[in-house]
Structure 1
Amino acid sequence: MRKKTAIPRTLFTLVLVILASTATSHTLSSSSSPSSSPLSSDWLPARATYYAAADPRDSVGGACGYGDLVKAGYGMATVGLSEIFFERGQICGACFELRCVDDLRWCIPGTSIIVTATNFCAPNYGFTPDGGGHCNPPNKHFVLPIEAFEKIAIWKAGNMPVQYRRIRCRKEGGIRFTIGGSGIFISVLISNVAGAGDIVAVKIKGSTTGWLSMGRNWGQNWHINADLRNQPLSFEVTCSDGLTVTSYSVAPKNWNFGQSFEGKQFET
């Protein structure tokens, strides 16, 4: 019988993605030569564990605010990050390449995986960092779905040494904007972002306004108090590498809360 989890379920919550099912990301794959170019060519040490969702409801919830990853096209090519990585949600949407190292018994040679940061692995200060607190500072730790973990290592390995590097994200389709809120409060979930993947600044514009800066609410949910109803909406998205993409009149004049719209995409 397969072990259900290698890390306590209380430390890790699966990710939410409020995306339309047409938005897609990396498919789960194993490769020694991924097509995405690295943001950094240096491989750095970390460790990785896995989880196995026993209940379909485990896919509802998460620290990046995304939604149902499978319906959104992310599948199992996702990862939860320890506190030292997470940066209070800014890292959400970034892509990593991982490979198993230093264990000839459990590693699958010549393989690596590409995953998107979608969740947070919370510290457990009831344990020391080297005594069960896998995600405690200063540990660099990745928590993978077992389907991803088994692409690079045998599942019995548990807590494995790995190497990682940031890579540029490759996405199908444009950046997706899902509009929430009510009245003059507007919340926008921004997802399916290529390039660096992680967003550092967002602006919104109506047909009767200039560009208005939005604030990070949580994860990749951004908000503003402004009455932008009954006018088309444009968005300006800036990623951590300093590149910006502007999508004009993404949402039509008659947009409604709860709808999703697709804009331009970063080149990769």
Structure 2
Amino acid sequence: MAMLYSFVPMAFFMSLLVRAMSAGIDRTWYEAHATFYGDMNGGGTMQGACGYGNLFEQGYGLQTTALSTALFNDGFACGSCYEIKCVNDPQWCIKGAGSIKVTATNLCPPNNNDGWCNPPRKHFNLSMKMFTTIAEYKAGNISVQYRRVPCIKTGGVKFELKGNPNWLLVLVYNVGNAGDISSVSIKGSRSNEWNQMKHNWGENWNTCLNLVGQALSFQVTTSDGKKLEFNNVAPANWQFRQTYQSKQNF
């Protein structure tokens, strides 16, 4: 009976672990380091290698980080969310600060921050506001532990359209749950065929199809394998340099 009692909780734990892994959520804490950039108001953190613009207008605010090359994954990690806590340094870690949650919105390039962002190092270059939430400003560089967490977003996935009639560039953002995207397909209202878009840079995806005058639908797959279709997100009279919001999210 005692063996049965110990087996059931373990089986229950394993089922939870499998479900968490299948949902793309890794509960393991990993070691890394963190610095900061910009100022307390977010100056210097806007734009960046993920292709986002005004992070306040797009819903990311100051809860952001740049990733080292080892984490950035050629831009495919853009939009992913992390929980981070300061560890192993009572002099600089703020006691009782707990952890912060941030979204990846930029790249910390190699040969920056005294080489801390060089491969194969895993490093977070946080906004100043986030860094000083868990550590003293004077620390400069701290040891941290991090893990991936689901992204909590408000409203539907958004699609910003740029380019010209023969080259459409789409920024996909405000993506919930996994947050980062592995593939995007597009379809005009005059066709039943999905067309794979090319990963251009950051969270920008492009196609050379001329889809002017057609309502646009998108098929988005996130890094955890989940796929959603966003039908007729942009109406037939869509315009370049406009953003269209869907009614659903991951």
- TM-score range for the pair, normalised by the shorter chain length: 0.7 to 0.9
Q: Secondary structure at the match of 1:147?
A: helix
Deviation of 1:88 after TM superposition, in Å, equals 0.5
Amino acid paired to 2:50: C
Tell me, yes or no, if structure 1 residue 177 matches structure 2 residue 164: no
Deviation of 1:119 after TM superposition, in Å, equals 0.5
Tell me, yes or no, if structure 1 residue 259 matches structure 2 residue 245: no
Kindly provide the CA deviation profile for residues 218-257 of structure 1, in whole angstroms up to 9, marking residues without a partner as x: 0000000111111111111000100011111101111111
Tell me, yes or no, if structure 1 residue 225 matches structure 2 residue 208: yes
**Matched-pair contact (CA < 8 Å) for 2:186–2:218:** yes
Aligned residues: 226
**Matched-pair contact (CA < 8 Å) for 2:81–2:178:** yes
Q: Distance in 2 between matches of 1:160 and 1:67?
A: 28
Q: Secondary structure at the match of 1:236?
A: strand
**Matched-pair contact (CA < 8 Å) for 1:92–1:117:** yes
Q: How does 1:110-259 map to 2 (within 5 A)?
A: 110=96, 111-124=98-111, 132-209=114-191, 210-259=193-242
Deviates more, 1:91-100 or 1:45-54: 45-54
TM-score normalised according to structure 2 size? 0.85
Are the structure 2 counterparts of residues 55 and 113 from structure 1 closer, same or farther at C-alpha, using a change threshold of 3 Å?
closer
Specify which of 59, 64, 68 is matched with residue 73 of structure 1.
Answer: 59
Considering only aligned residues, what root-mean-square deviation do their CA atoms show, in Å? 1.9
Are the structure 2 counterparts of residues 74 and 184 from structure 1 closer, same or farther at C-alpha, using a change threshold of 3 Å?
same
Gaps of 5+ in 2: 1-22
Q: Which residue of 1 aligns with 2:16?
A: none
By percentage of residues, which structure has more helix?
Answer: 2
Q: Distance in 1 between matches of 2:132 and 2:229?
A: 39
Q: Distance in 1 between matches of 2:153 and 2:218?
A: 18
Deviation of 1:264 after TM superposition, in Å, equals 4.0
Q: Which residue of 1 aligns with 2:72?
A: 86
Q: Distance in 2 between matches of 1:266 and 1:163?
A: 29
Identity value in percent: 47
**Matched-pair contact (CA < 8 Å) for 1:200–1:238:** yes
Q: Distance in 1 between matches of 2:176 and 2:86?
A: 25
Deviation of 1:208 after TM superposition, in Å, equals 1.1
Deviates more, 1:81-90 or 1:53-62: 53-62
Deviates more, 1:103-112 or 1:188-197: 103-112
**Matched-pair contact (CA < 8 Å) for 2:214–2:235:** yes
Deviation of 1:108 after TM superposition, in Å, equals 2.0
Amino acid paired to 2:74: R
Kindly provide the CA deviation profile for residues 106-148 of structure 1, in whole angstroms up to 9, marking residues without a partner as x: 11234100000000011118x9xxxx21111121110011100
Amino acid paired to 1:121: C
**Matched-pair contact (CA < 8 Å) for 1:176–1:192:** yes
Are the structure 2 counterparts of residues 114 and 38 from structure 1 closer, same or farther at C-alpha, using a change threshold of 3 Å?
farther
Q: Which has the larger radius of gyration?
A: 2
Q: Which residue of 2 aligns with 1:14?
A: none
Deviation of 1:73 after TM superposition, in Å, equals 2.2
**Matched-pair contact (CA < 8 Å) for 1:59–1:68:** no
